[in-house]
Structures are given as structure tokens and as C-alpha cells.
Structure 1
């Protein structure tokens, strides 16, 4: 197996990424491409290795500065194909972290895919085929959300079901600034932003505290 496509692209952005992580990511891409013929994990219009690395792998990895790998749990909302949940679990496996990634995915087929990947790559994950809005968790977990629900919906969910979360990392698209501005009229947030390295119109929002106004 040639891991050069992953390694060559990742090293430009994350020069310290390990060879082991690159190999695991290459295996993960193999599984995505294989299963994408059966279920719609990612857009079939751009199903090539380099696009997956640049659009999905690097995009997911750019949040690692907001991840405290000494914590016990990451909760990934609406994991889909495992972006960023599987990515974070691969990174934690290869940096020696014992953090567990809990991935919520209500689709039967996608949940099974996440279990398959976790088994094949020996990842410390828990896949929950549940409706996240019916579940509560009082752990001081890191919450991630990429292409799940709009910011106000996620905040309501956390305020009701995940009150003790450590921080929320949410990917914001081209209308993100407008959404954030409107949200701040109803919520007091302790937050910071980071410009996306994969899309000039996007940014990452790291929220450490929320309070309804």
C-alpha cells in the first residue's frame, strides 16, 4: 500500500504527522471509496484520493489545536462517514492518547460503516445508532459538529442534554458570520474562531461556555 498521497498532502499542512497516522488514514480512505459504491458516504462526483485528503481529511484535522487529548471523551454529533470522529480517533490512537470517541449516527448503514472502520483500524470508539436529541451525557466531553445542524440547534441540544461539556468545536460555512451574529442575540458565548485552511469562506468556532440570554 502506498501512503504517499496522504503523506505528501498532509505534510504540507501538518509537518509533524506520524507515518502511522498516514497509513491509518490511507486505509480509512480505502474503506470510504469501497463502501461509497454501496451507500452515499461522501459526494460521488469527487471520489478520488487526493480530493478526499484535501477536502475531508485536512478539513477535519484542522481542529486538533482545540482538542485536549488528555480528556476522557470526544462526542461527535451526526458522524456520517466519520468526519471528524474517525480522524480524531486515528490521531489519538497514534499519539498514545486513551481518549474515546463516541460517534452518534442514526443511519443504520453509516453506523455499521463506522463500526467496520473502528474494528479494522483498532480504534477506541463507541458508535451509537441513536437520535442524539433523545440522549443525555453528563461527562465533561469535547463535542464536535461538522455538517450536522445549525449552531442554534446545537446550542439548544448542549444546553439541554450535554450541560457539562468541556468545549464545542463546530464547523461554520460561508453564512457562518451571519449565523453567529444572530445567535449572539440570544446566547452569551465564550468562544474563539479560527479561519478554515480549506475554504476561505469558512471558519471553525470553538465554544467553551454557553448561557441563554
Structure 2
């Protein structure tokens, strides 16, 4: 991935070119991405899903920003769980670009209604919406766990460890505080992650990890 796109994506044209180069979306997938972007902007007038200032750069800040997580797990398969999915970022973008079974976990009723509307409108039968706090979601093994602006890293791990297995892939955009948050974790957990540069923001980093951690490990440094 780094070899294909060494530079930051700065506009919609570059974002689309990157999507085309990395994922080769079908005409149907492009149509779904375009329609999702349109629905997202329209719904933003009714509820605050994304910052209004990011709408002009939506394809970089939200579509490509979400898709880059899938680029770190192209060969993955099985259940993907997106925590605090909000407007479906990154979950719906990943679901459009792959056939991975997707669980969107979101506690806010209006956002869940939007997620269901999009999944139905785009015929994303492999998308499931869990309208609940993560604590109330039944445990199931996750092949991949993502979380974009969900919670501080230590709390995110405490809440989601029960979904992880030895083979779980973790894809966690953490902005400019990624390294700092990672340094606060027990050393056993730190070793399971590495830090990647975001393609959409020079100051942002993504924590990419693999594996599971138990309660005993969480308490050790």
C-alpha cells in the first residue's frame, strides 16, 4: 500500500484515483459509494453526522479515510465489527467495497435509523446494525475490529476484548494522539500494535494490530 500511494490524498480526484487503484471498484460499487455520499450529506442537514466543514472534502476525509482501513486487511475474511459506527464510517464504506459480514454498533437511535436506511437503499444484505451500547451487544468472535472516534484506547480495549481472538485484526484510527495513547497501555498490548501513517491527514496515525488480550494482560505493564 505504501508503495502505491506514498503521498497524502488532497482532493476528491486523488481520492477516487486511489480507490480505483487499490480496490478496482465495480460500477455497482462506485454507484453505491456515490449514493452513500449523497445520503450522508443530505442526512447531515437533519442530524449532525459529520462536521459541515468536511463536506467539500468528503471523498478524502470520510470515504478514502474509511477505505484505507480495508486496505490494511485486504486478505481478511469473516465478521467485521465497527464500534461506534455513527454515520457508517468506516463500516458502510468497507461493506460497499467488500462482502465481509459487517456489524455496525451504534447506540444512538437516529443514527441507527440512518444506517439501516442506507443498508436497505444500497442493498447491503451483509450489514447488520446493533442499536445498543457495546456493553449490551452479545459476544461473538470478530475477524476485524475497527473504531473511528469511538473512545480512548484503553477504554476501547476494555470494552471490546471479549470480541477478539488470537487472529483478530485491529484497525484503529487515533489521530495525532495515537502514539501517546499506545504508550499508556500495558507493554504486552503495545507489542501487538504498530503505527501507520494516515493517507488523508498528515497529523493522523492508525494503530494496526493483531491478536487478543486477556484481563490479566490488561493489568500488567
| Shared fold, TM over 0.5 | yes
Alignment of 1:11-50 (within 5 A): 11-12=17-18, 14-16=20-22, 17-18=24-25, 19-48=27-56
8 A Cα contact 2:81 2:142, kept in partner: no
Superposed displacement of residue 163, structure 1: 3.9
Q: TM-score, normalised by structure 1?
A: 0.85
Q: Hey, what does 1:67 align to over in structure 2?
A: 73
Query: Could you say if the C-alpha distance between residues 201 and 89 of structure 1 is closer, same or farther in structure 2, counting changes exceeding 3 Å?
Result: same
Give 1:126's match in structure 2, choosing from 121, 125, 128.
Answer: 128
Aligned residues: 201
Alignment of 1:143-162 (within 5 A): 143-159=145-161, 161-162=162-163
Q: TM-score, normalised by structure 2?
A: 0.82
Superposed displacement of residue 85, structure 1: 0.2
Query: Could you say if the C-alpha distance between residues 134 and 186 of structure 1 is closer, same or farther in structure 2, counting changes exceeding 3 Å?
Result: farther
SS of the counterpart of 2:184? helix
**Structure 1 portions without partners, runs of 5+:** none
Superposed displacement of residue 6, structure 1: 5.9
Give 1:82's match in structure 2, choosing from 88, 100, 109.
Answer: 88
Cα RMSD after superposing both structures = 2.2
Q: Hey, what does 2:179 align to over in structure 1?
A: 177
**Structure 2 portions without partners, runs of 5+:** 1-10
Question: C-alpha distance in 1, partners of 2:71/2:159?
Answer: 24
Q: Hey, what does 1:208 align to over in structure 2?
A: 210
Question: C-alpha distance in 1, partners of 2:60/2:20?
Answer: 12
Question: C-alpha distance in 2, partners of 1:12/1:91?
Answer: 13
Question: C-alpha distance in 1, partners of 2:12/2:199?
Answer: 17
Superposed displacement of residue 187, structure 1: 3.6
Q: Hey, what does 1:101 align to over in structure 2?
A: 102
Superposed displacement of residue 67, structure 1: 2.2
Question: C-alpha distance in 1, partners of 2:53/2:19?
Answer: 25
8 A Cα contact 2:103 2:130, kept in partner: yes
